[in-house]
Amino acid sequence: MKIKVGVIFGGESAEHEVSIISAIQAMNKMNQEKYEIIPIYITKDREWYTGEMLKDIDSYQDLELIKKYATNVSLIQKNNRFILEKKKGVLKKEVNEVDIVFPIVHGTNVEDGVLQGYLQTLGIPYVGPNTYAGVVGQDKVFMKAIFEKNSLPITTYEWFYDSEYRLDKESILKKIEHLKYPLIVKPAITGSSVGIAVADNEEQLIEAIDDAINYDTKVIIEEVVSDLKEVNISVLGNYEHQKVSVIEEVVGNNKFLTYADKYIGGGKTKAKFGTKTNVTCKGSKGMLSATRKIPAELSKKTQLEVETLAKEAFKILGSSGCCRIDFLIDTKKNKVYINEINSIPGSLAFYLWEPTGKDYTELLDDMINIGVKEYKRRASKTYTFETNILQGFANNSLKGGKTKLR
């Protein structure tokens, strides 16, 4: 009997379209003999749909057609089964059943622990980071605080709330004046470079902040690394065991890798495997559309440092599944900085595993197996206690409002 895998994607996120691309890539590569793949698409207005048409990228050209021909559903737990139930109609008809959920989602309201919290409340097995890892993996302020506490190398930064900036702009500018230009301004919780800009002076800084606060309540400002080489690595595993992929060097057309560099531009993937060079993936194909060198040109010492820091960061954040961790290298000072973790990266970073001999189908299988193990681990822990505490609260003792809870 095949395992029923519900692939969740989309959602109310600035990275909605990127999630669709990643999910369709993955669904096309899952082992069809082992898994029954059930697409679960969340629209930007938070409605859930399922149906075979959702496996076809052309279906997303017209959202009204999806609403007309796909089935509007809710994911519920019913008699220890996990059901996709038809949302509309007098009778709540079961549309499908799922054994495990595979979120392939990016950005706010989905990747950031919100969706994982719902899945965990239902009790359904799922692939990837749990709620806590999702939160710290999405919030750059939380993430940097954890890295800093654990003495991992990060760039100098400051952060503030949008309300603080609106209330006393001059005070915030004074708070960050010790940072050296150029500076990079980021909303704390967006991904795919949404709302991010580089500032070379105070005028550009103010303009960048004004844009960033459109996307989040927290803004983080960091010093730009000089003589920059940007490299990424993927980590697969959980808090107990971690494996690392090859390292890539990413090259953008701007001072940082923009949304257009990643998803819109007609970039190329240049991958060197021994004496062979393969050039593939022209056009808009998720993160594959960025220009990159695989493997990155690094010294053995720097390569080992990146690999070691990646495993440590993954473990410290309690991540699970397959992530991508981005690093910044000052080539003049030969200094490595952790930039951020992408807990559910675009294209699930499969292209970083292929040079190791692990194809996309095997990577997806590994991720599902890790998700099952994590579910069993959670199930083995004690979260509730048998107690008679409520027997001490008779109705008449609560009516007067005199009972105190401590």
Give the residue ranges of DSSP H helices in 187-246: 202-212
Distance CA 149, CA 346 (A): 28
Angle between the 360-380 and 16-29 helix axes, to the nearest 10 degrees? Answer: 100
What is the per-residue pLDDT across 82-110, written as a single tens digit (0 to 9) for each? Answer: 999 999 876 779 999 999 999 999 988 99
Predicted local distance difference test score (pLDDT) of residue 275: 30
Residue 302's SS3 state is helix
Q: Which residue has the higher pLDDT, 80 or 366?
A: 366
Which of the residue ranges 61-70, 99-108, 190-199, 290-299 has the most confident prediction, judged by mean pLDDT?
A: 99-108
Phi first, then psi, for residue 256 (nearest 5°) are: -145, 165
Q: Delineate the domains of the chain, giving CATH numbers in brackets.
A: 3-127 (3.40.50.20), 157-223 (3.30.1490.20), 226-370 (3.30.470.20)
pLDDT band at residue 269 using 50, 70 and 90 as cut-offs = very low
Identify which of 53, 57, 7 has the alpha carbon closest to the alpha carbon of residue 284.
Answer: 57
Hey, what are 322's tokens? 């397959």
What is the per-residue pLDDT across 25-50, written as a single tens digit (0 to 9) for each? Answer: 999 999 999 999 999 999 999 999 99
Distance CA 336, CA 291 (A): 21
Predicted local distance difference test score (pLDDT) of residue 286: 46
What is the per-residue pLDDT across 114-126, written as a single tens digit (0 to 9) for each? Answer: 999 999 999 999 9
pLDDT score of 261 more than 90: no
How many CA atoms lie less than 13 Å away from 90 in the CB half-sphere?
0
Phi first, then psi, for residue 69 (nearest 5°) are: -110, -25
Distance CA 341, CA 310 (A): 9
Quick one: residue 216, left, alpha or beta (phi over 0 = left, psi -120 to 50 = alpha)? beta
Q: In the 8-state DSSP scheme, what is residue 397?
A: H
Of the chain, the percentage scoring pLDDT greater than 90 comes to 76
pLDDT score of 184 more than 70: yes
Beta-strand (E) ranges in 53-211? 71-78, 81-86, 94-98, 100-103, 157-161, 183-187, 197-199
pLDDT band at residue 396 using 50, 70 and 90 as cut-offs = low
Predicted local distance difference test score (pLDDT) of residue 393: 62
